[in-house]
Amino acid sequence: MRPQLLDRFGLAVEVRTPQDLGERIDVLRKREAFERDPSGFVAAQAKAQASLSRRLVRARKQVGAVSFSDALLLKATDLCRRLGTDGLRGELSLMRAAKAVAALDGRNAVELADLREVAPMALRHRLRRDPLDETDSSGRVRRAMDEALVD
């Protein structure tokens, strides 16, 4: 996609096949259980789904009250500057996503760990491609986070 279109996406996730054998086996077992009895599988997951749904509803109500300190705002803008993101959508997406994580965890303030958690999703797709740099965008974001998002 063209950079102008990618910039319109707030978050983008990188989907990879799990490398941990235990995770892979768990996914395969769950998939087989679903194929064997879809209704039973859905019923078995209902309690966890309801719990997650309640957490999400609470977080949506709370997210507007979550604060973002000036110190963290400075770190977020420094991270985006280091990565060379154009415009301010990177910072805006980073702030909104970090607030959502804090609200989901039931907190009223964003923490540095929240920024670190969402930075790859908010920024990876906003990076300019350098044909001479063999580092993938995830590596570039990690390197910049190690420099900008320190205590």
Residues catalogued as catalytic: 89
DSSP 125: G
Give per-residue burial for 129-151: e unless 16+ CB within 10 Å, then b.
Answer: eeeeeeeebeebbeebbeebbee
Structure tokens at 121: 């999703």
CA 128 to chain centre: 20
DSSP for 36-87, written as a single string: H-HHHHHHHHHHHHHHHHHHHHHHHHHGGG-B--HHHHHHHHHHHHHHT--S
